[in-house]
Amino acid sequence: MARKHSLAPASVLPLFTCMITTFVLALDLDTTSATSISQTASTIASSLFNTYHNASATSGDFEQPEPWFWWLSGSGWTALLDYTVYTNDTTYQTALLTALSENLGAGHDFAPAEQQGWEANDDQAYWVYAALTALEYGFDAIDPCVSEGSGVSGTCANSWLSVAVNAFEDFATRWAADAGTCGGGLKWQYTSSANGYYYKNAVTNGGFFQTAARLARYTGNATYADWATKIYDWSAAVGLVGTSFNVYDGTSDEGTDNCSTINGDQWSYNVATYLHGAANMYAYNGDRGISEQQVLWSQRVQGFLGAANATFFSPPSGNATGVMYEQKCETTSSCTIDQTSFKSSLARWMAKTAVLVPSEAEPIHGLLATSAVAAAASCTDTGDVTCGMRWWNADGFDGYTDFGSQLSALEMVQSLLVMHAPGLATLAPS
Ligand SMILES: *[C@@H]1O[C@H](CO)[C@@H](O)[C@H](O)[C@H]1NC(C)=O
Ligand SMILES: *[C@@H]1O[C@H](CO)[C@@H](O)[C@H](O)[C@H]1NC(C)=O
Ligand SMILES: *[C@@H]1O[C@H](CO)[C@@H](O)[C@H](O)[C@H]1NC(C)=O
Ligand SMILES: *[C@@H]1O[C@H](CO)[C@@H](O)[C@H](O)[C@H]1NC(C)=O
Ligand SMILES: *[C@@H]1O[C@H](CO)[C@@H](O)[C@H](O)[C@H]1NC(C)=O
């Protein structure tokens, strides 16, 4: 999302919808069977990898048309980390550990030299989520251990924990540099010449919030929890997080704007980012018996879930209630290649929230199951499986194909396995 879209959205409209719907066989998903879910996820993951992975295409490794989105590769690898844990299928483990190590950069913080000049805070965050996921699921550290440089003392500079902390420190430093406007907040871009430098937005501040909250829960270190609270309070004060927990896209600090007006667009990954951060704060406080704070964060988790349900689960087709959709762009077929991926974030973080906030597991599972059946039904079952963009389309596959759509379908289906997976680790029992 760092780059401005140079593709006209209309240019990706499907050309052959009518032709194709006549012979498409949808994937049939039985949400009560872990075997069925695993097999369906495996089919979708394999075509995601076979179609888009190209080790020489970009340093992010997943090939996409211009403007290629480095952050999307980071999201793709996070999905495959989850996939590996959820299914016990290690097919992609070597490739993903290689890709993560190649994109770390000299500061071990996912700011590699190749991306310099246009990498934005949110791009970085989407790779940091991979490190946090590897940490929480106990993946082997990147080999070899780098013993010198920044990082957490007592661990390698490129340990998963060090990487996440290094990026956290980057964000905190940039927040301080940006604090002259709007009473705080991270800018979208951290390079002043980049387009979007004056945008203080939800995916960026939500990304910092979630990173801090996950570090707080994992380490138990109150410094991270204090930051998470500060970022959350700022987001609410400035209006990125609304009073009904709707999450709005961004605000500006250009000239005298001082974040006085809000871009009210709602995208599913924004509410998802805050939802999972709030779930981690709920768990952090719960683990420490800080019940007043736990109640507060529980209300926020419920608030974000309610806003997500109200905004992203009522597609226009009458019989598709409860099916996740990207309301800003799916009905007009104007989703860009990164916007089609946003549902993968919502599926991923609703599922992880169910793990951390058990009282929400059942309602979350209901929404995930309905959507996963529809997502699977949107995939063609003719050789290499391709999943569509509109899961609420009654005819199955809608003829739309891209990395983001495939990624969203994968995360949607595999999210049903989250409760069978090992729990999310912490450094030490509280
Ligand atoms: C992989 O990426 C390289 C570098 O951009 C390109 O030359 C090559 O054609 C790509 N391979 C495939 C199979 O698309
Ligand atoms: C993965 O393996 C673990 C431990 O060996 C097991 O408990 C779990 O059920 C397996 N998961 C799947 C989806 O097969
Ligand atoms: C900008 O907004 C912040 C936060 O609302 C406020 O504290 C500050 O006084 C404002 N600055 C100006 C110049 O209006
Ligand atoms: C807690 O985290 C902060 C920020 O990374 C770090 O400076 C501090 O040393 C940590 N405290 C402990 C006890 O690890
Ligand atoms: C989602 O919203 C619908 C109404 O639009 C409601 O019937 C349903 O109970 C909600 N589900 C959850 C899990 O909150």
Q: Report the nearest-CA residue for atom 14 of ligand 3.
A: 258
Rounded to the nearest whole angstrom, what is the distance from the C-alpha of residue 165 to the centroid of ligand 4? 9
Rounded to the nearest whole angstrom, what is the distance from the C-alpha of residue 133 to the centroid of ligand 5? 29
Is the model's pLDDT at 13 over the cut of 50? no
Q: Is the CB of 419 under 6 A from ligand 2?
A: no
Is the model's pLDDT at 17 over the cut of 70? no
Q: Taking residues 336-347, what's their average pLDDT? A: 95
Rounded to the nearest whole angstrom, what is the distance from the C-alpha of residue 168 to the centroid of ligand 3? 25
Across the chain, mean pLDDT equals: 91
The stretches of 179-221 forming alpha helices (DSSP H) are: 202-219
Name the DSSP class of 425: P
Q: Taking residues 177-205, what's their average pLDDT? A: 96
Confidence of residue 150 (pLDDT cuts 50, 70, 90): confident
Summarize pLDDT for 240-266 with one digit per residue, the tens.
Answer: 999 999 999 999 999 999 999 999 999
Ligand in nearest proximity to the CA of 304:
5
Q: What is the pLDDT of residue 58?
A: 73
Q: Taking residues 18-25, what's their average pLDDT? A: 47
Rounded to the nearest whole angstrom, what is the distance from the C-alpha of residue 44 to the centroid of ligand 2? 20
Q: Taking residues 356-374, what's their average pLDDT? A: 97
Burial class, 186, CB count within 10 angstroms (exposed 0-12 / middle 13-18 / buried 19+): buried
Confidence of residue 151 (pLDDT cuts 50, 70, 90): confident
Best CA proximity match to 364, nearest among 377, 345, 351, 380: 351
Q: Taking residues 126-138, what's their average pLDDT? A: 98
- Provide the edge-to-edge strand list for the sheet that holds 199-201: 199-201, 250-252, 262-263
**Does 5 or 3 have the greater pLDDT score?**
3
Best CA proximity match to 266, nearest among 322, 329, 321, 315: 329
Contact 170, 131 (CB under 8 A): no
Confidence of residue 220 (pLDDT cuts 50, 70, 90): very high
Q: Is the CB of 366 under 6 A from ligand 5?
A: yes
Best CA proximity match to 287, nearest among 360, 350, 213: 213
Rounded to the nearest whole angstrom, what is the distance from the C-alpha of residue 417 to the centroid of ligand 2? 10
Q: Report the nearest-CA residue for atom 13 of ligand 2.
A: 87
Q: What is the pLDDT of residue 22?
A: 43
Confidence of residue 381 (pLDDT cuts 50, 70, 90): confident
Ligand 1 atom closest to residue 58's alpha carbon, by position in its atom list:
5
Q: Is the CB of 88 under 6 A from ligand 2?
A: yes
Ligand in nearest proximity to the CA of 314:
5
The residue behind tokens 């059942």 is 362
Q: What is the pLDDT of residue 20?
A: 42
Q: What is the pLDDT of residue 66?
A: 63
Q: Is the CB of 363 under 6 A from ligand 5?
A: yes
